[in-house]
Structure formats: C-alpha cells, structure tokens
Amino acid sequence: MARWRKSSYSNDHQGACIELAGLGGGLVGVRDSKAPGAGHFTLPVAELALLMGRVRNETLGVASN
C-alpha cells in the first residue's frame, strides 16, 4: 500500500496541493490532495524531478531543445 505524503509547503487554505507516494521500481504516484479517491498518475522518479525543476524555474511552458 502506498504511503502518500503532502508537501510541507501546503496548508488547508491554499487549495492547490498534490500528494506523492513512492511506488517502488523507480516510480512515484501523484494525486490531488483534495480528491485522493479520484486516482493518481504514475511517473518515473527522474521525470518527476525534471517536472519539478521546470516548475521551480518557471520554464514549464517553454519547449526544451
């Protein structure tokens, strides 16, 4: 069973939070903390790291070469 963790930056008033769970085999699950029963999607850990880096650097909508 996956152990879901919410970001330490989130609180009950922000409303836009995700939860992450290590799924083994180099995979991580991502789900909406407001609707945990709605399912999740799965990413390789390396892809999640790339996504989070692009969010942090505000380059999410910029095509990479």
Report residue 2: phi and psi, to 5°: -75, 140
Whether pTM > 0.85 for this model: the answer is no
- Structural domain including 36 reads 18-60
Task: Give domain status of residue 1, yes or no.
Answer: no
With contact defined as beta carbons under 8 Å apart, do 59 and 32 qualify?
Answer: no
In a domain, 37, yes or no: yes
Per-residue confidence (pLDDT) for residue 64, from 0 to 100: 64
φ, ψ for residue 14, nearest 5 deg: -80, -40
9 pLDDT more than 90: no
At residue 37, φ and ψ (nearest 5 deg) are -80, -5
Quote the CA–CA distance of 55 and 9 in Å, as a whole number: 15
Q: What is the pLDDT of residues 15-51, one digit of tens each?
A: 668 899 999 999 999 998 888 899 999 999 999 999 8
Asked whether residue 30 is domain-assigned, the answer is yes
One-letter amino acid identity for 15? G
Indicate whether 12 belongs to any domain. Answer: no
